[in-house]
Structure 1
Amino acid sequence: MPQTNAYAWLGQEPAPRMLVQAVRLLGTLETPGTRDNPTILSWADEVGGAVEDVYKADSIPWCGLFMAVVAKRAGREPPRDPLWALNWGTFGVAVPDRPMLGDTLVFVRRTPEGRRAGHVALYVGEDEEAFHCLGGNQSDRVCVTRMSRSRLYAARRPAYRQRPQNVRFIALARAGALSSSEA
């Protein structure tokens, strides 16, 4: 269930499949402190491969894990090493013009130590200043947040055999602060 009435319409979208799967996970929270949310940890087992060997605590950035489980559940193959958000810049096909509903958006961010890192989420709309993105590890939960357009690294679309009819540009009102760091 979307976190506010502003995004309640997401629950009525019939496609794209990755977006439908992501909406089902809205509200999932990271467990504070030294405990871990068993739901988030189970996603690593579900994704499998090297992910389950690496991902052992929800204190590890998990936006890529969220996207990998959403992709798997939607019948899509995640990119190699999906925990690294910037690797999602190779997922599917490049967006030829502007992002649309359900596209994968990859953003650049700086770690507290000043290193370059990334964040990955799904496009649900945009305003003049930001993309509205549904993703994991956004304020330690699965939610929709606004991401500055200037941070966009890559926009990717699943390689559809037939693009769902509701994949479209969505103009939204500016609401809420811009995210500055998602880890």
Structure 2
Amino acid sequence: MNELPWLNEARKLIGISEIPGSQHHPEILQMWKDIKRGGIKDDETPWCAAFVGAMLERAGIRSSRFESAKSYLDWGTQLEQPAVGCIVVFTRVGGGHVGFVVGKAANGNLMVLGGNQSDAVNIRAFELSRVSGYRWPTGVPLAGTALPILASDAPLSASEA
């Protein structure tokens, strides 16, 4: 499968998670360095934007280089509809969340590959009502295909903080 380079990088990290206690996952710490925010030295600081940014940077695309999920609302090119690989920004109690759209569930929920989803990198379902915006890297051609159905009844994301 000819996958977008940032999604390829993201899929390599599925399954990594925060380490409870005083230890911190070195891969999560590296994400902060990748987005030029190396002063963050723990894996408890909300890191969804660091994950998205690091995957873009590793694919040779400049990220927002900011720790806020909502920083992606002003990044790249706005899309009216989701596309595989686009960045999706969500609202949530206490802030925002950001990840990559990889498909949809049969009920229409978006399937999102992201970091800091229940303290890990994984694919989770999100309600469309939470979407604040879709973004695409400027200068990268949009493949524009229909979202694949990845699950018939995926549970909704319950924690992104």
TM-score for both structures, normalised by structure 1 = 0.80
Measure, in 1, the Cα distance between the counterparts of 2:55 and 2:113. 11
2:109 equivalent to 1:109? no
1:9-28 matches, cutoff 5 A = 13-28=1-16
Q: Percent identity?
A: 32
Q: Provide the residue aligned with 2:150 in structure 1.
A: 172
1:155 aligned partner: 134
Q: Distance in 1 between matches of 2:4 and 2:25?
A: 27
Question: 3-state SS of the aligned residue for 1:89?
Answer: helix
Aligned-pair CA distance for 1:15:
2.2
Which structure has the highest helix share of the two? 1
Q: Secondary structure at the match of 1:179?
A: coil
Give the distance between the partners of 1:72 and 1:100, measured in 2 at CA.
20
Q: 1:78-93 residue pairs with structure 2 within 5 A? A: 78-81=63-66, 83-93=67-77
Deviations 1:87-127 (A, max 9, x none): 1112210113x20110000000003xxxxx00000001113
- 2:114 is the alignment partner of 1:135: yes
Give me the whole-angstrom Cα distance separating, in 2, the residues matched to 1:29 and 1:144: 13
Conserved 8 A contact 2:51-2:115: yes
Structure 2 residue ranges without an equivalent (≥5): none
**8 A Cα contact 2:118 2:158, kept in partner:** no
Give the root-mean-square deviation of aligned CA atoms. Answer: 1.7
> What letter corresponds to residue 146 of structure 1 in structure 2?
A
Is 2:31 aligned against 1:52?
Answer: no
Alpha-carbon separation, structure 2, partners of 1:158 and 1:45:
21
What letter is aligned with 1:175? D
Q: How many residues align?
A: 160
Matched residues in 2 for 1:126 and 1:26: separation? 18
Supply the distance in 1 between the matched residues of 2:44 and 2:103 (Cα, whole angstroms).
Answer: 28
The alpha carbon displacement at 1:147 in A equals 0.8
Q: TM-score, normalised by structure 2?
A: 0.90
